[in-house]
Every structure is written in C-alpha cells, then in structure tokens.
C-alpha cells in the first residue's frame, strides 16, 4: 500500500486503499473480518482527507465525513470491547 500522502494525492483520493479492500475481500472469499487492516487504512486516509479538505469535500472512495467518524468510533469501541 502507498503512503498516506501519496494516497491522498491520488485521483480519486484514497482510491488505492479502497482497491486494497476489494483485493483482500476477493482473495479471502469476501470474509470482511480478514480485511480489517485494509479497512482501517482506508478510514485513516479518509479521515486525513476530511481534515485537509473539510467535511464537505467528497471522494468516491470514502464515506461521508459524519458516517466515517461514526464507523471509526464503532471500530474503536469494538476493538476496546474485544481486547478486555
């Protein structure tokens, strides 16, 4: 996977990370739990995209800013509850 700066500069932004999720799902029989690192990487890129361009910016590779934050919060809660 490219670095964050490269993936943000890509057109559309974060697209390489979205493709990495697709590739992972295809290789793993569409078992989403096997692709969590790729999902986290996409969310990291999308979060940086919105921080740089504002919540009203959009890219086909990312959920809307409000939905992204909700998903990131849910993932953080899931990770906290599974590690205890």
Per-residue pLDDT of the chain (84 residues; tens, 9 = 90+): 569 999 999 999 999 999 999 999 999 999 999 999 999 999 999 999 999 999 999 999 999 999 999 999 999 998 887 654
- The count of structural domains within the chain is 1
Helix 36-53 / helix 65-83 crossing angle, nearest 10 deg: 140
Contact 57, 49 (CB under 8 A): yes
What CATH number corresponds to the domain at position 66? 1.10.287
pLDDT at 82: 66
Q: Would you tell me how many other CB atoms lie within 10 Å of the CB of residue 37?
A: 12
Structure tokens at 62: 């990312």
pLDDT at 65: 98
pLDDT at 61: 97
- Say whether pTM exceeds 0.85: yes
């Amino acid at each position: 996977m490219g670095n964050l700066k490269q993936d943000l500069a890509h057109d559309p932004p974060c697209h390489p990370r979205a493709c990495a999720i697709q590739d992972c799902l295809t290789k793993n029989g569409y078992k989403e739990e096997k692709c969590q690192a790729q999902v986290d990487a996409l969310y990291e890129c999308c979060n940086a995209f919105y921080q740089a361009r504002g919540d009203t910016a959009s890219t086909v590779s990312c959920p809307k800013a409000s939905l992204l934050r909700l998903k990131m919060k849910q993932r953080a809660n899931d990770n906290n509850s599974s590690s205890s």
